[in-house]
Structure 1
Amino acid sequence: MKSKVIAVVGPTAVGKSALGVLIAKQMNGEIISGDSMQIYRTMDIGTAKIAQEEAEGIPHHLLDIKDPDEPFSVAEFKERVQLLIDDITNRGKLPIIVGGTGLYIQSVLYDFQFSDQGRDKAVSERLAALLEREGPQSLHERLNKIDPVQAEKIHPNNTRRVIRALEVFETTGMTMTDFHNRQVEEQPYDHVLVGLEMDRDVLYQRINERVDYMVEQGLLQEVSRLYWNGYRDAPAMKAIGYKEFIPYLEGVYDFDYAVALLKRNSRRYAKRQYTYFKNKFDIQWYTIAPSDYQEKFETILSDLAGMRN
C-alpha cells in the first residue's frame, strides 16, 4: 500500500507554512520543507525560514542541513525526502511537504529518475580545462546555445552544474532539458496536493510587506555576515533575498534601490511559481485572503479529513 503524503504548495508569502503547521497538528503529521533555500544554515531571514514559535512544536525536516557553499541537487532532495517519508510513515505519522520549489516537490511525488548517465571523466576534465582557459561566462554561453532552458536556470558562476549539463550533452547527444521532458511521471505515494492562491494585487502587497519585515528583522546584517565570511560567490548567494544586496555592499547602488529590487524580484518569482504549479501539477486550489484565513483553513482541514487512518 502506498504511503500517504500531503503537499502544500503555492507562491511565496501566500500562507503555506501556517497551513502546514495546522494540518500537522490536526492530522498527527510532521513537515518536510519543500524549499530549495531553507536547507542552508545561517540563511534564515532571507529564506523566510519558519521561526521556532511559529512551528508550534511540530517537527520540521530539511532545514539547516547544508552550509551556504555546499552543493545541493534535486536528486539529493528526492533521496532525502523519500527516506523521511518512510521514517515518518513508519512512526505512524503523516508526512506533509510544504514549500514553493516546484521541481523539487515534483521529483518526489512523480518519482523522477536521476542517474549518472553520461558521466565521462575525460569530457569533464576537458571542460574543466576549458573553464580555466576561457572563464565561466564562455562556458555558460556554450550551454545557452545548446540548451537555453537550462542556461536560464543555471548561474554562470555555478560552474559545476554548467559543466555537468555540457557533459551530458556531449556524451549522450541529449540536453538536460530533454532528459527532464522524458521523465516518466510515476506516482509512488498516495498524495494530495493542496494549492494556495490569492488575488495578485493582495499577494504582491503581502510580498512587499514581507520584504519590509525582513529588513526590519536584520536581512542586511544577515547578508553582510555571509558576504564577509567568504560566501560572496557561493551558489546560495545567488538566491532572491541575497543577490540584491551584494551590489549595495559593494557600492554599486543604494539601499533603497536594493530593497525595491528585492520586492520586484520576489513578485516575479511568485508569478513564476504560480505558473509552474498550474502547468505541472494536478492541484486542488483554494483561493484565500488575509481576512478569511481561518475559515478557508478549516475548509481545507475538512476536505483532508478523509486521509486519516
Structure 2
Amino acid sequence: MKKKPVVVVIGPTASGKTEVSITLARRFDGEIISADSRQFYQRMDIGTAKPTNLEMNQVKHHLINVAQPDQVWSLARFCSEARNCIDNIHEREKMPFVVGGTGQYIWGLIEGWTVPSDAANLELRRQLEQWSEDLGSSGIHSVLSRIDPEAGKFIQETNVRRTVRALEVIFSSGRRFSDQRSKNPPEDLDFIILGIEWDRPKLYERVDLRIEGMLNSGLLEEVRYLISSGYDPDSSALSAIGYREITGYLTGKHSLDDAVMLIKRNTRQYIRRQANWFKKDDPRIKWFDAKMDLAHNMMIYLEKELKARQ
C-alpha cells in the first residue's frame, strides 16, 4: 500500500506556525487542519490567536469554530474528525497540513492513540469533581501524578476535566490510565513533521508582544461577552490561558496587572510543557531555525521529501 503524505507543522506558542503553514499550503496546494485544542471553539478568537478571516481566505482551514464554548471536544473526537478531514483532502488530491502546538492531539493522531473507553461512573465523577474543587487544579493534578506519573505528564494541570476523568478511569478499573492508552499508527499515512525552533528568550519576547496585542485587540471584552452570555467560567474551554486569568480579574480575584502577569507566566510554563511533547532529539521531527528564512527552508526540504517518498 502506497502511503499518502500528511505534513505536520509544530512549534511552541507564538512561534509563527500560522504564517508559515499558510505559505506552505499555498505552495503545495494544501488545506490546513487545526490541531490547536482551543481554536475549535466559536467566539474565542482573540485569546486563542485564531487565524484571521484574511488568513483563512487564503487557504481552506478545518476544525476551527466547530464547537460552542460549553461543548467538550475530546482527544478521541479530534483524532476521528482530523482523520476524516485528511481523507477528504486526499480524495480531492490536495495536501493535508496538520498545524498546532497541542502535543497530545498531534501525537494522538500520528501514533493512533486509543483512549480508555470505560463507561462513565457518574457518582464517582461527582465525588472527584468535589474533591477537585477542594484541592484546586494543581492539587487534584498532583494526586493523579502520584498515582499515575505518566498520565500526569500528558494531562495538563489546568485541565481539571481530563484529570478527573483519568482518576475516574483509574478508580473504576483498578489500572493506571496511561496503561490503557494503546497506539495503532495509521499504516496508510506518511507524516512529515516540521518543527519551528526559537531561542527561548526571543520566544518569550514574542509571547509578551502577542499578549499585549491581544489586550489591545479586545481580549477583555471577549471574555466579558462569553461570561455574560452564560458560559461557565469553570468550563474546559474557558480554562485556557488568557481566559482563565482575565476571568479572575473580571470576578475580582486579582487586578488587571496581576492577570497580565499571570498570563505571561502561565504561557511560559506552557511553552516548557510543549518542549516535553516535542523533543529536539526526536528523529521524527525536522527542526528549522525560525530566524533563518523559515518558509523558504521548509519549502525546499518539503519538496525534496515529497519527491523522495513518491
Q: What's the TM-score bracket when you normalise by the shorter of the two chains?
A: 0.7 to 0.9
Give the aligned partner of residue 130 of structure 1: 127
> Alpha carbons of 1:187 and 1:264: their partners in 2 closer, same or farther (altered >3 Å)?
farther
Give the aligned partner of residue 260 of structure 2: 259
Query: Structure 1 regions of 5+ residues with no counterpart?
Result: none
Give the aligned partner of residue 195 of structure 1: 195
Please state whether the residue corresponding to 1:193 is helix, strand or coil.
strand
CA distance in 2, matches of 1:100, 1:201: 19
Q: Could you report, residue by residue, the CA deviation over 1:238-263 in whole angstroms, capped at 9, with x for unpaired residues? A: 11011111121122221111112111
CA distance in 2, matches of 1:195, 1:299: 12
Instruction: Tell me the number of residue pairs that the alignment of Structure 1 and Structure 2 aligns.
Output: 299
Cα drift, residue 106 of structure 1: 0.6
CA distance in 2, matches of 1:22, 1:40: 24
CA distance in 2, matches of 1:79, 1:50: 23
CA distance in 2, matches of 1:223, 1:93: 37
Supply the AA of the counterpart residue of 1:127.
Answer: L
Please state whether the residue corresponding to 1:244 is helix, strand or coil.
helix
CA distance in 1, matches of 2:110, 2:39: 20
Q: Could you report, residue by residue, the CA deviation over 1:186-238 in whole angstroms, capped at 9, with x for unpaired residues? A: 65411100000111111110000000000010001111111222221211111
Pairing of 1:158-169 with structure 2 (within 5 A): 158-159=160-161, 161-169=162-170
Give the aligned partner of residue 217 of structure 2: 217
CA distance in 2, matches of 1:5, 1:133: 42
> Alpha carbons of 1:241 and 1:75: their partners in 2 closer, same or farther (altered >3 Å)?
same
CA distance in 2, matches of 1:281, 1:68: 36
Please state whether the residue corresponding to 1:195 is helix, strand or coil.
strand
CA distance in 1, matches of 2:199, 2:224: 34
Give the aligned partner of residue 207 of structure 1: 207
Q: Could you report, residue by residue, the CA deviation over 1:133-155 in whole angstroms, capped at 9, with x for unpaired residues? A: 86744794864653355467366
CA distance in 1, matches of 2:290, 2:183: 33
> Alpha carbons of 1:156 and 1:57: their partners in 2 closer, same or farther (altered >3 Å)?
closer
Give the aligned partner of residue 305 of structure 1: 303
CA distance in 2, matches of 1:18, 1:135: 39
Q: Is the 8 A contact 2:125 2:165 kept in 1?
A: no
Q: Is the 8 A contact 1:21 1:56 kept in 2?
A: no
CA distance in 2, matches of 1:169, 1:249: 36
Q: Is the 8 A contact 2:32 2:61 kept in 1?
A: yes
Q: If the length of structure 2 is used for normalisation, what is the TM-score?
A: 0.87
> Alpha carbons of 1:206 and 1:164: their partners in 2 closer, same or farther (altered >3 Å)?
closer
CA-based RMSD of the aligned residues comes to 2.6
Please state whether the residue corresponding to 2:24 is helix, strand or coil.
helix
Pairing of 1:58-69 with structure 2 (within 5 A): 58-69=59-70
Cα drift, residue 185 of structure 1: 5.2
Q: Could you report, residue by residue, the CA deviation over 1:20-54 in whole angstroms, capped at 9, with x for unpaired residues? A: 10111000000000100000000000000000112
Same amino acid, percent of matched pairs: 36
Q: Is the 8 A contact 1:195 1:284 kept in 2?
A: yes
Q: Could you report, residue by residue, the CA deviation over 1:106-134 in whole angstroms, capped at 9, with x for unpaired residues? A: 11111112352x33x6xx14414635886
Cα drift, residue 281 of structure 1: 6.7
> Alpha carbons of 1:150 and 1:99: their partners in 2 closer, same or farther (altered >3 Å)?
same
Please state whether the residue corresponding to 1:79 is helix, strand or coil.
helix
Pairing of 1:90-129 with structure 2 (within 5 A): 90-116=91-117, 118-119=118-119, 124-128=121-125
CA distance in 2, matches of 1:134, 1:5: 42
CA distance in 2, matches of 1:157, 1:79: 21
Give the aligned partner of residue 27 of structure 2: 26
Pick the aligned partner of 1:282 from 276, 284, 289.
284
Query: Structure 2 regions of 5+ residues with no counterpart?
Result: none
